[in-house]
Structure 1
């Protein structure tokens, strides 16, 4: 039996509208329970993630430092 790795991509921010993580698409409950889930339960969640992620509006809710720097540099030109 092979272990199913976490789909986490270290973008841990929840979409208020859907309740899904912007990074991986899991709910808070699924994230918290992941370690204790059976491989079958993990597989079931993993199968749902692509559809979930397609429902999330992937806009950052706040300006990131990287984007601020890029915007500032663009304005200096």
Structure 2
């Protein structure tokens, strides 16, 4: 897999965890952030799907 195929981090440089251990910037859990560099391609895609769901919920409830 070349560099262009790698799943990039959703980090937006707003790094702060809320009371639920979710980053208010990228919507990843503390565990997902910590493990990101060790995750394979499929795991990262799964995290990004979760991030999209969390982001939608935060816009609805925010």
TM norm structure 2? 0.79
| Alignment of structure 1 residues 25-36 onto 2, 5 Å | 25-36=27-38
Report if aligned partners of 1:22, 1:53 keep a CA contact under 8 Å in 2: no
Report the Cα distance in structure 2 between the residues aligned to 1:54 and 1:15, rounded to whole angstroms: 16
Q: Which has the larger radius of gyration?
A: 1
2:12 match: 9
| Structure 2: unaligned runs, 5 residues or longer | none
1:52 match: 54
TM norm structure 1? 0.65
Aligned residues: 57
| Structure 1: unaligned runs, 5 residues or longer | 59-77
Residue 30 of structure 1: SS of its match in structure 2? helix
1:62 match: none
Give the alignment's Cα RMSD to 1 decimal: 1.5
